[in-house]
Structure 1
Amino acid sequence: MGSKSDEMIHKVKVERAFIGAGCNRIVNNVSWGASDLVAFGAQNAVAVFCPKIAQILTTLPGHKASVNCTFWLPNAKFGFKAKEMERHFLLSGDADGVIILWEFSILYKKWRHVLQVPQPHKKGVTCITGIMMSQNDAVFASTSSDGTVNVWELVFPCSSGGDFKLSCVESISIGSKTMVALSLVELPGNSGHLALAMGGLDNKIHLYCGQRTGKFVLACQLKGHTDWIRSLDFSLPICANGETCILLVSSSQDKGIRIWKIALRDSLDNKKEEISLASYIKGPVFVAGCSSYQICMESLLIGHEDWVYSVVWQPPSFISGNECYQPQSILSASMDKTMMIWKPEKTTGIWINVVTVGELSHCALGFYGGHWSPDGNSVFAHGYGGSFHLWKDVGVTSDDWKPQKVPSGHFAAVSDIVWARRGEYILSVSHDQTSRIFAPWSKGSSLENEESWHEIARPQVHGHDINCVTIIQGKGNHRFVSGAEEKVARVFEAPLSFLKTLNHATSEESSLLDDLEAGVQILGANMSALGLSQKPIYSQVSPVATNRDNNDGLDTLETIPEAVPVEFTEPPIEEQLAWHTLWPESHKLYGHGNELYSLCCDHGGKLVASSCKAQSASVAEIWLWQVGSWKSVGRLHSHSLTVTHMQFSHDDNFLLVVSRDRHFSVFSIKDAGAGEVNHELVTRQEAHKRIIWTCSWNPCGHEFATGSRDKTVKIWAVENRSAVKQLMTLPSFKSSVTALSWADLNSQSNHGFLAVGMESGLIELWSLSCRRSDSGNAAMPTAACAVQFDPFLCHVSPVHRLTWKTCKKNQDSGSTQLASCGADHCVRVFNIDFI
C-alpha cells in the first residue's frame, strides 16, 4: 500500500482465517447436532466446528466460567424432525450453573445469543439432555452438583428474532448423591407423557414420569450397576414381535453396559387391578396416564476394560418419505482408549461388538465421550488430552472405518505465540505442556478458494507448563527456544521429517531449499520417559519401532514406543501428531533462579533474551544468550519484579523491557565482535499505575507502545539514543490491556496499525501515524480506532499475545494476517484487509 496516502486507509475488514482449540477435559462436553455441526466447550467459550472441512467456524462468547456441557436442539437423534427447520438451537452449561440458549440460522450462517436460562443452578451444570416435541417446541432437562434436576419447556418463535417462551415445569431434588447422566423420551402410546432417566453416584437408574406441564414422579429404580452410572440414552419407540417398546442403554464405571427394555402393556382403562404380582416378577411395572409399562433388563454388554463414559444409540434413518427406522446399534466410548459399535446377531439376537476403533492409540489416554454423525456413517470421540478423533465408514460392501481429519488445539491456556521467519506457520505454547505448529495447507485444500489451516507438528511434549517461546530469526534451519515452569530454557531444531512436511504444506516451492542446505541429518525425536529431554533420531538409523524390553508390550515408563517420524503429504491426525512429529532438543540454557516467563530473539538471529519470575532485583535480571554457541553474553539489571515482556527494536539497536514493577527499561545493544555484546541502560521509567503486561516497537522507527492493567496504552519515543519521552496516551480502554503488536503498513509515511488485546478477550486495531519533525525526532503522533473486532471473532478470556505476520519485501501490504492466543485455549488467525 505504499502508493496510497494515509487518508485512504480508513476501512479495515477483519475475517476469521483459523481457530485452533482443544476440548475441555470433562464428560458431556460435546454435542453433534442435526445441523451436522459439532459444539464443544473450550474453557469459557462454546466452540463450533464443521466435521466436513475439519475447521472450527466460531466461538460463542457469554459464559464467565468453564463450559461443562453442550446440547443441540435438535441433536443427531432428532435429525428426522429437523428436515424443514431453518434455525437450530444450542444449549450450553458452565461451572457456575449458568445455561445459555443460542440460535443458529442455517440459511445465513449467523449465531445469536437468545437468552440465559433463569434460576441457574447453584453449582456447575454436569449434563443437559432434551427432545424435540415438534419443530416448534422442545423439552430439556439439566442436572448439577447442587443436587437438583430441572425440567424446562421451550417454545420457539415462528420467525427469527421472535420471543422464546421458556418455563420451568419441574425441579427435582435428588439429595447428596449427584446425578451426572440424563436422558428424556416421549413414552409410546401416551401423547404428552415423558420419561426422564437419571443416573449418578448411587449406582442406580432413577426413572421419573411426568407430563410436559410437569408433575414428574419417581416411577421406579433400576439396579444392576456396581459403580457410578456415566451415560444414559433412550432409543426411539420400536415395534417388534407385536409389541411397542423403547430401549434404554446405560454405561458405568463398572466397565459394563446394560440394555433395558420398557414395553408398553395393554391400556389399563383405569383398571389398576390388572397389575398383578406376577407382572413384577418379570421386572418393575409403572403407570403413566392410562398406560402401564414393564421394564426388564434386555442384555449385558461386556468388552471394555475401563470406565465406559458414554453410550448412544445410532440416529434413525429414513426408509421412505417421513417414515424412519431406528437401527439396533450402540456406540460406546471408554477410558480404555477404544470406541465400540454393538449390534445384535441376526440369528441369536445376542449383542456383540462388531467394530472397534482407537485401540492402537497409545497416546489418546482414553475417551470421555463418543457420538454418531446424523447419517450414522461416522463416529467421533473426544479424549482426555482435549483431542478429537473421527472415523468414517468408507466401505462399500463391508465396514471399513478410517480415521479422518479433525480440528485440534490446546486444552489449557495458550501462553505465547510466534510466526515463523517467513510466515509459513505459527508456533504456540501452552499450559497443557505442549508446543504446536499450525500452518495453512495450501495444496489440496478442502475449502474453496481458501487456505485450510491444520496442526502439522507438535514439536515439544513436555513435563511442565510452557510459558514462553521465541523463534530464532536468523538464517539456517528452523529453531525455537521455549521456557517453562522450570529454570531451564530449551533449544529445539527442526528435523528433516518436519522440513519435508512443511514443503508439502506450503505453496512456495523454494521454502525448503535454504533449510536443506544446512544438511539436517536428524529425522525426528523420541520422547523421554518423564517428558523432558527429547532425544534425536538420526536418518541413518532405521526408525522402525522396536520393543526394547520383552514386557509383552506393556505401556510403562521403561517401554515407551519409539517414534516413527515421516514426511506427511496431508495434514496429520492426532495419533501421528502426538508421537511422530517431535523436534529434537539441541541445548539447555541454565542460569535463571526461577521458572522462565519471557523470551525474545533479535531480528538478526544473533541474540536471545530471557527472563524469569522474580520477587527481587537479583532474580529479575535478563540474560542474553548468543545463538549458536549458546553462551551467556550478558546479564541486564534494571527491575525488581518479574519482567513480563521483552522485544528488540527492528534495527536490533535497543531492547525494550516491561515489568510487574510498573516500569519499562530500554537498553542499547551493540555487537562488540569476538562473540561479545556491549549493553547499556538507556533509561528506566515508571510508566503506568499498574502492572505493565506488554510492549511493542514501531517497525519503522524507535517509537514503542506499552500496555498495562491500568487500561491504558502509551506511546513513547527514543530520542538521540539517550532519552525516552512520552508522545501520547490512547483513550482509556474498557478492560486491562494484555497484548500489543505494532504493524508497519506504509514505511514511506510511517503509518502503522497497533493491535490491542484486552483482558476481556476483545481486540481493537488503532491507526497510528508517527511523523518526523525537522530535527529527525518523532512529533506528536495521530491515533484513531480503526476497527473493533466482532465479539464472535474474539477471545472470551484474556488475550495473551498478538503478533503480525512478517510481510515479505515488496509485498503489497493491503492485506496481512494477525495471530493471537489467549486463556480460552484458542489460537486464532485473522485476515486483515485495508480498503
Structure 2
Amino acid sequence: MEATLSYVAVGCNAATNALSIPLNTSLPSSRSYKFSGAFAAKNVVSLLSCSSPSNASGAPLTIVETLKHQEVTTNSTRLTSVRLQHSTYNSAVRVLAGDSEGHVFLWTWTQDEGDWKLLQLSLKDLELPAVAVAAVVIAETSRRQLYFATFSDGTLAVFEENKTRGKVILLAKLELGVKCIMETVDAIALTYGNDEGTEESVLVAAGGVDSKVHLFEVAGGSDTLTPLLELEGHRGWIRSLAFQNQQKIESATSVLLASASQDQRIRLWKITARSGGPGKETSKEPAEVHDGFLAIGQQVKYTVSFDALLLGHEDWVTSVQWMQLPHADEISSGTQDSLLASWGYTRP
C-alpha cells in the first residue's frame, strides 16, 4: 500500500496581525503563485500558494511551506504578527515574524537557493523588551532592507540589513511608553524625484492605544528614526494601517494611507512627498497649510491631508488591506463581528 499527502490544513492564530497578504500579489505573476500569503499557526508560519489560471481545477489556496524557528516555547507561546514581502529588485522572498515572548524572526528565500534561511533578530545583547511583539513590517530601498517591530510596552525597533554586507543590525529604538503602544505598523519606500543613486526615504505609519496615527521617517542613508507628525481624528484604538502603492505626480509622489479603528471607521489620508529637507530658516516642526499639514523630513517635505471617511461598519474595524486591480484599487476591511467589506476606489 502506498500513501501520499493529499491535503494540509492548519488554523490561523487569533491575532489581527497574524495574516499577511502582500499588496503586489493580487495581480498574477509567477512569484505570486509560489508564495501569495503567510499566516501564524501557533509557533510556525504557514505559507500559502495561489493556483495559477492554468490549474483552475486545483485548490485556490494551498499550504506549501511551514517555517519553524529554533526557540524553546511553552504552551502559551505563539506567533503574534507576520509579514510576507517579495523583493522588488530580485527573486528574494522574506518573512518577518514576532511572538508573544518578544522574539523577532526573519526567514529569507531566493530562487537560486530554493531553501529558507532563519535569522533571529532579537538577541539578548540588543536589550530589546521581553514582551509580546504587536506588529512587524518590512521596507526595501535600493540599498538596504529595514525591518520594523513594535512591542507591547511601547517600544518601536528598527533593524537594518545592508544589501552589500548582508548583516542585520539594530538601527534604532524608540521607547514611546505604555500610552503609545503601537498595535499596527506599515512602511513604504518613497521615490520622490530624488537623484539617481540616492537612496529612497522610508515613511513609517504606526498607531495604537492613543487613537493617533504616528508618522516617522528613516531618511535615505540615515540611521535614525525621526518622528514627523501625529494625525488625529479617530476616537478609538488604531487597529490596522495600510499604504496604497505610490503614484508619481510630476515632481512629487502621492500615496494614500488607510487607518482602521475601534471607532468603527476607516480614514484615508493623502500624503504627498517632494524633494527638499529643512533649510536654514525652515522649522522642522509640523505646520498647518491650506490643504492639511506640512512635515519636514531630512530630505523630503511631506504634505498630509484628510481624504475620506468610510462609514458602514457597526463594530471595531480590526484590519484593512489595499488590493491592486488593473484599473482601480479596492480596500478590504474586517471587523470584530466577522464582517468583511470591500470598498472601491477609483484612481484620479
Residue 315 of structure 1 and its aligned partner are, at CA, apart by 3.9
The answer on 1:72 being equivalent to 2:84 is yes
Identify the residue that residue 264 of structure 1 maps to in structure 2. Answer: 273
Identify the residue that residue 216 of structure 2 maps to in structure 1. Answer: 208
SS in 2 for 1:23: coil
Give, as a single letter, the amino acid of the residue that structure 2 aligns with 1:332. Answer: S
Aligned counterpart for 1:195 among listed residues 199, 203, 206: 203
The answer on 1:122 being equivalent to 2:122 is no
Say whether the 8 Å CA contact 1:139–1:153 is kept in structure 2. Answer: yes
Identify the residue that residue 54 of structure 2 maps to in structure 1. Answer: none
Aligned counterparts, 1:651-730, within 5 A: none
Give the distance between the partners of 1:194 and 1:183, measured in 2 at CA.
Answer: 10
Give the distance between the partners of 1:16 and 1:302, measured in 2 at CA.
Answer: 45
Give the distance between the partners of 2:203 and 2:133, measured in 1 at CA.
Answer: 21
Give the distance between the partners of 1:90 and 1:206, measured in 2 at CA.
Answer: 24
Residue 332 of structure 1 and its aligned partner are, at CA, apart by 1.7
Say whether the 8 Å CA contact 1:98–1:121 is kept in structure 2. Answer: no
Say whether the 8 Å CA contact 1:267–1:292 is kept in structure 2. Answer: yes
Aligned counterparts, 1:87-126, within 5 A: 87-106=92-111, 109-118=114-123, 119=126, 120-126=128-134
Identify the residue that residue 333 of structure 1 maps to in structure 2. Answer: 334
Deviations 1:614-646 (A, max 9, x none): xxxxxxxxxxxxxxxxxxxxxxxxxxxxxxxxx
Give the distance between the partners of 1:110 and 1:60, measured in 2 at CA.
Answer: 11
The answer on 1:164 being equivalent to 2:176 is no
Residue 142 of structure 1 and its aligned partner are, at CA, apart by 0.4
The alignment yields a C-alpha RMSD, in angstroms, of 3.2
Identify the residue that residue 18 of structure 2 maps to in structure 1. Answer: 29
Identify the residue that residue 42 of structure 1 maps to in structure 2. Answer: 41
Say whether the 8 Å CA contact 2:284–2:295 is kept in structure 1. Answer: no
Give the distance between the partners of 1:277 and 1:17, measured in 2 at CA.
Answer: 57
Identify the residue that residue 56 of structure 2 maps to in structure 1. Answer: none
Give the distance between the partners of 1:213 and 1:268, measured in 2 at CA.
Answer: 13
Residue 176 of structure 1 and its aligned partner are, at CA, apart by 0.8
Aligned counterparts, 1:126-141, within 5 A: 126-134=134-142, 137-141=144-148
C-alpha spacing 1:291/1:110, structure 2 compared with 1 (3 Å)? closer
Say whether the 8 Å CA contact 1:206–1:221 is kept in structure 2. Answer: yes
Say whether the 8 Å CA contact 1:91–1:101 is kept in structure 2. Answer: yes
SS in 2 for 1:305: coil
Say whether the 8 Å CA contact 2:228–2:286 is kept in structure 1. Answer: no
Q: Which runs of 5+ in 1 are unaligned?
A: 2-12, 158-162, 318-324, 350-835
C-alpha spacing 1:266/1:179, structure 2 compared with 1 (3 Å)? closer
Say whether the 8 Å CA contact 2:103–2:120 is kept in structure 1. Answer: no
**TM-score, normalization: structure 1?**
0.35
Q: Which runs of 5+ in 2 are unaligned?
A: 26-30, 52-58
C-alpha spacing 1:307/1:116, structure 2 compared with 1 (3 Å)? same
Say whether the 8 Å CA contact 1:154–1:166 is kept in structure 2. Answer: yes
Identify the residue that residue 60 of structure 1 maps to in structure 2. Answer: 67
Residue 267 of structure 1 and its aligned partner are, at CA, apart by 3.9
Residue 307 of structure 1 and its aligned partner are, at CA, apart by 1.3
Deviations 1:103-157 (A, max 9, x none): 23446653332444423541011110111213x7311200010220101112357
Say whether the 8 Å CA contact 1:307–1:334 is kept in structure 2. Answer: yes
Say whether the 8 Å CA contact 1:47–1:56 is kept in structure 2. Answer: yes
SS in 1 for 2:289: helix
Say whether the 8 Å CA contact 1:122–1:146 is kept in structure 2. Answer: no
Identify the residue that residue 178 of structure 2 maps to in structure 1. Answer: 176
Give the distance between the partners of 1:265 and 1:109, measured in 2 at CA.
Answer: 40
**TM-score, normalization: structure 2?**
0.79
Residue 229 of structure 1 and its aligned partner are, at CA, apart by 0.2
Give the distance between the partners of 1:108 and 1:200, measured in 2 at CA.
Answer: 39
Give, as a single letter, the amino acid of the residue that structure 2 aligns with 1:184. Answer: A
Residue 266 of structure 1 and its aligned partner are, at CA, apart by 7.1
Give, as a single letter, the amino acid of the residue that structure 1 aligns with 2:175. Answer: S
Residue 333 of structure 1 and its aligned partner are, at CA, apart by 1.9
Residue 20 of structure 1 and its aligned partner are, at CA, apart by 2.2
Give the distance between the partners of 1:153 and 1:173, measured in 2 at CA.
Answer: 18
Give, as a single letter, the amino acid of the residue that structure 2 aligns with 1:165. Answer: K
Deviations 1:225-279 (A, max 9, x none): 0000011122233234875322211110111111111223574672545999995
Q: How many residues align?
A: 315
Give the distance between the partners of 1:277 and 1:167, measured in 2 at CA.
Answer: 30
Aligned counterparts, 1:320-399, within 5 A: 327-344=328-345
Give the distance between the partners of 2:278 and 2:102, measured in 1 at CA.
Answer: 43
Say whether the 8 Å CA contact 1:186–1:192 is kept in structure 2. Answer: yes
SS in 2 for 1:19: coil
Say whether the 8 Å CA contact 1:268–1:274 is kept in structure 2. Answer: no
Deviations 1:540-590 (A, max 9, x none): xxxxxxxxxxxxxxxxxxxxxxxxxxxxxxxxxxxxxxxxxxxxxxxxxxx
Identify the residue that residue 682 of structure 1 maps to in structure 2. Answer: none
